[in-house]
Amino acid sequence: MENEIRMTKLASCAGCGAKVGAGTLAKLLQGLPTVFDENLLVGYDTSDDACVYKISDDLVLVNTLDFFPPIVDDPFLFGQIAAANAISDVYAMGATPKLALNIMAVSPQMPDEAVREVLRGGYSKAAEAGVIISGGHTIRDPEPKYGLSVSGFARPEEIRLNCTPHVGDVLILTKALGTGVISTANKVDMVSRETYQRAVEQMATLNRTGCEIAREFEVHSITDVTGFGLMGHTSEMANGGGVTAVIDSTRVPLLPEVLSLAEMGILPEGMYRNRSFAEPFSQFAPSVPRALADMLFDPQTSGGLLMAVAEKDADAMLARLTDKVPHAAVIGHITENQGCAVKVV
């Protein structure tokens, strides 16, 4: 199938790098009318990963939606990655995903078999997550796109927001950074096949394990790191909590080759949008190399969970994670506000 059609050639941008910049999005949402409902526990006002609606004292509904253009050429893998990325927003809220609907735009250049393979990839990843795809909506579009609307459930006390870190919390990240750079490099054949395959495998990996392990410990805040990059999503967490997140740049896990690629200027357009948004909230130590700083703004597709964990539980939780989540790492901590949202040392 990959020899028949290169999916990425049909789109002007790829994966979560297609997201509208966080700053632009905030302006677009500003002043829109809202309807008050006391049962809507989480809406778009907190920049969280999904909305949460109270059904009863013991049950909440979690809803999210995510779709994007191809990040890989293989249609089946594209479907898997897009589904994993969409389902991740439910995991990032601490909930269990259960139902989904397909969202698909079909390019006239896509043969029927490619369309079917995208859907098959999505169905296979949803099944792995225990999610039932029960329908959807498909349109024609010059550029192909795919994703899911996902519904999940949780007990109210299981819900974790992206804006509630506590001073003293330890920051744990569950996936390595660099998918944006690697995807960009792959378009011009400047990354090894082995590294590209590692990035694809990571993007197709569910965040289910991280979510389930987080329930065993005192975790105050969770978000998943996607199109706004580590700096964008961390700044949302810190700004929301009125604190400063200190990131140790030497401890951030990176995929192979990404630093050398960044040094050569192989960077996705979304990286510059993310830097424009998050840099005003950030402070970088002069010793942090420019290429490494760029990686912290790199837009991730189906990235890992960023979790603010109580210090007393951090070591035990990391030990549980690293047994099943190879790239999990402590990357920083939360302090009182130091005049910026994110401080990189």
Residue 233 has pLDDT above 80, yes or no: yes
Q: What is the mean pLDDT of the chain?
A: 92
User: CA dihedral in degrees (132, 138, 144, 146; nearest 10)?
Assistant: -20
What's the mean pLDDT in 306-328?
Answer: 96
Alpha helices in the chain (DSSP H): 22-29, 75-91, 112-129, 179-187, 193-203, 208-214, 229-241, 258-263, 269-278, 290-297, 311-322
CB 131 within 8 A of CB 150: yes
Distances (CA, A) of 244 to 62, 171, 250, 269, 284: 28, 12, 18, 27, 13
Q: What pLDDT sits at residue 323? A: 87
Residue 3 has pLDDT above 70, yes or no: no
Q: How far is CA 9 from the centre of its chain?
A: 23
Residues of the chain with CATH 3.30.1330.10: 7-158
pLDDT band at 1 (very low <50, low <70, confident <90, very high): very low
| H or E element in which residue 330 lies | strand 329-335
| CB neighbours of residue 172 within 10 Å | 26
Percent of the chain with pLDDT over 70: 92
Q: What pLDDT sits at residue 69? A: 92
Strand, helix or coil at 265? coil
pLDDT, tens digit (0-9, with 9 covering 90-100), for 57-71: 999 999 999 999 999
Mean pLDDT lowest among 70-74, 123-127, 145-149, 207-211: 70-74
> In sequence order, what DSSP letters do the residues of 17-82 get, joined into one string?
GGSPPHHHHHHHHTT------TTEEE-GGGT-SSEEEEEETTEEEEEEEEEES-SSS-HHHHHHHH
Residues of the chain with CATH 3.90.650.10: 170-344
pLDDT band at 88 (very low <50, low <70, confident <90, very high): very high
Q: What class is the 170-344 domain?
A: alpha beta
Euclidean distance between CA atoms 4 and 288, whole angstroms: 43
Residue 15 has pLDDT above 80, yes or no: no
pLDDT, tens digit (0-9, with 9 covering 90-100), for 40-60: 998 877 777 789 999 999 999
Q: What pLDDT sits at residue 124? A: 98
CB 249 within 8 A of CB 286: no
Distances (CA, A) of 195 to 50, 165, 186: 31, 34, 10
Q: What pLDDT sits at residue 214? A: 97
CB 301 within 8 A of CB 16: yes
What's the mean pLDDT in 98-107?
Answer: 97
> In sequence order, what DSSP letters do the residues of 200-230 get, joined into one string?
HHHHTS-SHHHHHHHTTS-EEEEEE--TTHH
CB 292 within 8 A of CB 202: no
The one-letter amino acid at 40: L
The pTM of this model reads 0.91
Residue with tokens 């948004």: 277
Catalytic residues: 16
Q: What pLDDT sits at residue 8? A: 76
Percent of the chain with pLDDT over 90: 85
Euclidean distance between CA atoms 133 and 127, whole angstroms: 8
Give the closest residue to 171 by CA, choosing from 69, 314, 23: 314
Residue with tokens 């790098």: 17
pLDDT, tens digit (0-9, with 9 covering 90-100), for 156-177: 999 999 999 999 999 999 999 9
Q: What pLDDT sits at residue 130? A: 98
Structure token digits, residue 299: 């837009």
Euclidean distance between CA atoms 268 and 181, whole angstroms: 6
Select the more confidently predicted residue: 32 or 224. 224
Residue 140 has pLDDT above 60, yes or no: yes
CB 80 within 8 A of CB 122: yes
Domain covering 7-158 in this structure, CATH number: 3.30.1330.10
**CB neighbour class for 245 (10 Å; exposed up to 12, middle 13-18, buried from 19):** buried
Residue 105 has pLDDT above 50, yes or no: yes
Residue 331 has pLDDT above 70, yes or no: yes
Let me know how long the chain is.
345
**CB neighbour class for 200 (10 Å; exposed up to 12, middle 13-18, buried from 19):** buried
